[in-house]
């Protein structure tokens, strides 16, 4: 009986544009193409692993006010360095983006996904270079099994050229997303300036980041009738230097990998979660580690998140900085953004597979995690 129902839901899924539309059709079972192999599923209720339910990860908190204060800057830089080396992520507070801005952006994001499917579908595209793209799953071009996620990707640079292509509905989305994009770029540059200082590098590279690639991805993870069978996003690392994430404060979903464990990151109001990407791992010659993370879904609540991804300009070469490979082994091949896009169109981008393809040798020692819990 269940199998028959699942086949009926699968038939519905062939005539809908993403999981939001699928949910609007009133499905009761997860269609077959969204069911992960048992070994790839998370365990426990609502996909939260039971062995990590009682653990609360102590995420390093970077206070931007203290970072900018000369008397406390050194201490904050030490905390930032440790977070990037041992964890690959940290939380940012007092970041300068008003709470009202974050709330308005999240509200307009929800309203976009509440638009009729026919309106959202206007922005669907398989062109990963498009200035705006609405899609589903993780990498729908290559995913063998789909993931319980819809997304709206907005290219943010150069803003005057791409803004006219952004959705005009809901009417406030352009203004709110543009404002957030500009402010998150300022935050990114502050963090990269600090990271370059920690690495003992000059600020010359910072100018290049000012004209770098920038994308805002608005995610929607609708309620799932059988959340234990699927994921919102698979374990993966991000391609760029830093990803700045605004989480829905009402619903949990993000998990990061620490050692062999998956740990849920609690959303904290007015804070932003930042993770190291593959390009920063390459640039630092492995000193800083991009982090594997995934998203679980639940059966009762829709969840939104907004990721701001930053890297060097599209045509720039990403390589270990020459100062960081003096007298040591170069661990990564040179790469660029085009190589990543080409990889995406022909390969699944789960885990750290793209980064693995850039390695020229195995690190001389295995990274260790010093995990702190409260």
- Taking only the tens of pLDDT, the chain with its 374 residues reads 555 555 555 555 554 579 999 998 889 999 999 999 998 888 644 444 444 444 566 789 999 999 999 999 999 999 999 999 999 999 999 999 999 999 999 999 999 999 999 999 999 887 878 999 999 987 776 778 999 999 999 999 999 999 999 999 999 999 999 999 999 999 999 999 999 999 999 878 899 999 999 999 999 999 999 999 999 999 999 999 999 999 999 999 999 998 888 999 999 999 999 999 999 999 999 999 999 999 999 999 999 999 999 999 999 999 999 999 999 999 999 998 878 877 766 665 556 678 888 898 654 444 444 445 44
CA torsion sign, 204 to 206 to 211 to 212? positive
Q: What share of the chain is helix, strand, coil (3-state, %, to 5)?
A: 40, 20, 45
Answer yes or no: are the C-beta atoms of 362 and 330 closer than 8 Å: no
The answer to whether 222 and 26 are in contact (CB under 8 A) is no
CA angle centred on 125, ends 334 and 338, rounded to 5°: 10
- The full set of domain ranges for the chain reads 59-358
pLDDT reported for residue 37:
92
Q: What integer pLDDT is reported at residue 15 of this predicted model? A: 45
In sequence order, which residues have a C-beta less than 8 Å from that of residue 216 and are 6 or more positions away? Answer: 153, 154, 156, 177, 180, 181, 184, 306, 307, 308, 309
At the top level of CATH, the class of 59-358 is: mainly beta
Contact 146, 34 (CB under 8 A): yes
* Alpha-carbon gap, residue 313 to 162, rounded angstroms: 15
What pLDDT does 365 receive?
44
Q: What is the DSSP letter of 325?
A: S
Output phi, psi for 346, to 5 deg: -125, -5
Query: Within 13 Å and on the Cβ side, how many CA atoms surround 93?
Result: 10
**Continuous segment of H or E residues that includes residue 244:** strand 242-247
Can you give the pLDDT at residue 11? 52
Rounded CA-CA distance 174/163 in Å is 8
């Amino acid at each position: 009986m269940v199998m028959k129902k699942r086949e009926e839901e699968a038939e519905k899924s062939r005539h809908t544009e993403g999981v939001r539309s699928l949910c609007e059709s009133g499905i009761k079972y997860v269609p077959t193409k969204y069911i992960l192999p048992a070994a790839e599923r998370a365990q426990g209720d609502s996909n939260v692993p039971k062995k990590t339910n009682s653990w609360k990860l102590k995420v390093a908190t970077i206070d931007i006010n203290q970072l900018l204060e000369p008397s406390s800057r050194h201490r904050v830089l030490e905390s930032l360095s440790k977070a990037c080396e041992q964890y690959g992520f940290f939380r940012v507070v007092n970041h300068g983006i008003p709470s009202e801005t974050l709330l308005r952006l999240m509200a307009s994001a929800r309203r976009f996904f509440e638009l009729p499917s026919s309106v959202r579908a206007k922005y669907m595209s398989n062109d990963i270079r498009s200035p705006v793209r609405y899609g589903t799953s993780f990498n729908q071009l290559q995913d063998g099994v789909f993931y319980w996620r819809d997304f709206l990707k907005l290219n943010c640079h150069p803003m005057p050229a791409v803004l006219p292509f952004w959705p005009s509905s809901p009417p406030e989305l352009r203004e709110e997303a543009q404002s957030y994009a500009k402010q998150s770029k300022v935050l990114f540059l502050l963090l990269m300036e600090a990271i370059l200082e920690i690495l003992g590098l000059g600020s010359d590279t910072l100018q290049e980041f000012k004209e770098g690639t920038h994308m805002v991805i608005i995610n929607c993870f609708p309620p799932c009738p059988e959340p234990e069978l699927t994921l919102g996003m698979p374990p993966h690392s991000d391609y760029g230097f830093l990803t700045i994430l605004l989480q829905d404060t009402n619903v949990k979903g993000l998990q990061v990998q620490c050692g062999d464990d998956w740990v849920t990151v609690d959303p904290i109001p007015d804070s932003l979660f930042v993770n190291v990407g593959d390009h920063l791992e390459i640039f630092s010659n492995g000193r800083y580690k991009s982090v594997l993370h995934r998203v679980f879904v639940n059966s009762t609540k829709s969840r939104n998140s907004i990721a701001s991804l930053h890297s060097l300009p599209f045509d720039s070469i990403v390589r270990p900085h020459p100062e960081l490979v003096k007298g040591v082994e170069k661990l990564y091949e040179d790469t660029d953004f085009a190589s990543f896009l080409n990889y995406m169109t022909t390969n699944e981008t789960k885990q750290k597979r793209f980064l693995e393809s850039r390695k020229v040798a195995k690190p001389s020692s295995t990274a260790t995690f010093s995990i702190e819990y409260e």
